[in-house]
Structure 1
Amino acid sequence: MINRIRDIRLQKGLTLADVALACDPQTTAQTIGRLETGMRNLSLVWMNRIAAALGVEPETLLRSETIQPARIVAALGRKGAEPMRTPIEAVLPNALSADVPWLVLAVEASVGEYRTGDQVWLRQHPFAEVSNLLNRDVLAPLPGGAFAFGRLIEAGGDTVALLPPASGQDRIAVEHPAWVAVAETLVRKL
C-alpha cells in the first residue's frame, strides 16, 4: 500500500514535527517519518490520526499502485523552470482541505478575466465570515436555486453587493445568503 502522507504534508508546507504535534494524541516526528516511508505499518488508527492532523479525508492518504499520479516536478521562478529536489505527488485542492465544502463554477462563455472552459474552485464560508472576503470573487446563492457571481464589493447587515465580471453590468445585491463561496483556484486548460 502506497501512502501520500509526505506529498500532502509538503504541499501544505508542514514539517514532520508540525504533523506530529497536530496528531491527537501527539506523537513524534520520527514516527510520522516512519509512517511516510513505510518503515512502520500505516494502520487504520494511524490513518485517521494523520488525516485529522493534515485536515484531509483518510482515503486521501492512499493511492493506487497501478495508476501513475500527477507529480510536481519543477517550479517556475525568476530564473525559469527549476527541477524539484524530490518530485512530489500533486494533490487536488478538494483533497487537501476536507474541512470546508468546495464548489466548482464552470465557465461556459468568456466573461471578464475568465475564459471558456475554465473551472473556478470555490471554498464555501458561512455568511458570518463574509466581511473577510471583500475584493474577492465570490459565488452567492439566490432564491429559487439561482446564483450570483462577482467581486464582493460591499458587505453590510444581511446583504452583500457583487460586481459581475462582465464590464458594463450593474452590481447585484444578494439579501440573506446562507453562505458565500470564495474563488481560490482557477483551473484552465492551455
Structure 2
Amino acid sequence: MTNRIRDIRKAKGLTLADLAAACTPPTTAQTIGRLETGMRQLSLGWMNRIAAALEIEPASLMRAESGAPAQVVAQLGAGGPEALSAPREALLPNALSPQDGPAPLVLEVTASVGEYRPGDLVWLRRLDPADTAGAINRDCLVPRSGGRFAFGRLIDRKGTLVGLLPPGAGQKQVVVDDPAWVAVAFMLVRTL
C-alpha cells in the first residue's frame, strides 16, 4: 500500500507548510514531506492527524498497489496545455469531501436544463439552513414536503424561507419554508 498524501494535498491546493500547520498539533513541512515520500512510516496516528487536517477519511490516504489510478499528466492554461513535471493521481470527488458531517449528495441530470446536460452529476454538500449565507447565488438542492426537492440558484434567505431560482428558462422562483437542510453544489462531473 502506498499513500496519497501528496496527491490529495495538491488537489486541495495546499503546500507542505500549509498541511503541516493544519495538523493538530502542528508539525513541520519536512515531516509531511517525509511521510509523503515514504521516508518516514505513516502510522495510524499520523494518518488520523493528516486526514483531519485535509478534512477527509483516513482510509482515503491509502491506495492499493494493484490497479493503476487515473493520472493527471497535463494542465490546460491560457497558453495551452503544459506537461506536469511529474504525473499525479487524479482523485475521485468523494476523496475530496470532508470526513465529518453527512456524506455528499449527488443529483443526476436526465434532461437538458439551463447549463446542465443529460448525464451530468452534480455533487452537493449539505449545510445547516442557518449557515446558507455563503451559498447565495450558488446552485442548491432543498428538500420539500412529500419527498420532493427543489433545485436552483439560491437567491433569497429570509427567516425560515429559502428562495430558489430554477435553472430552466422562464421558470418561477420556488420558496421552501423551513427546510431540514440545504445542499450546495461543489462539483460537476460531466462525461464527454
Counterpart-to-counterpart distance in 2, 1:135 and 1:6? 33
1:35 alignment counterpart: 35
Deviation readout 1:93-151 (Å, 9 max, x if unpaired):
32123235311000011111111111011111110112221211110011122110011
Structure 1 residue runs of 5 or longer lacking an equivalent are none
User: In 1, Cα distance between the equivalents of 2:154 and 2:106?
Assistant: 18
Show the counterpart of 2:122. Answer: 120
Tell me, yes or no, if structure 1 residue 130 matches structure 2 residue 132: yes
1:104 to 98, 103, 106: 106
- Is the partner of 1:25 in helix, strand or coil? coil
> 1-side partners of 2:137 and 2:47: how far apart?
38
Do the aligned partners of 1:100 and 1:125 also contact (CA within 8 Å) in 2? no
* Stretch deviating more after TM superposition (109-118 or 128-137): 128-137
Q: Structure 1 runs of 4+ off > 6 angstroms?
A: none
- What is residue 54 of structure 1 aligned with on the other side? 54
Q: How well do the aligned residues superpose, as a CA RMSD in angstroms?
A: 1.3
Q: Distance in 2 between matches of 1:24 and 1:78?
A: 38
Is residue 163–residue 171 contact of structure 1 (8 Å, CA) maintained in 2?
A: yes
Matches within 5 A, 1:61-76: 61-76=61-76
- Find the aligned partners of 1:26 and 1:115 in 2 and give their Cα distance: 44
Residue in structure 2 matched with residue 169 of structure 1 by the alignment: 171
For 1:72 and 1:12, locate their aligned partners in 2 and report how far apart those are by CA, in whole Å: 14
In the comparison of the two structures, how many residue pairs are matched? 190
Unaligned runs of 5+ in 2: none
| CA offsets 1:144-175 (integer angstroms, 9 cap, x no match) | 22110011121111101111111122211100
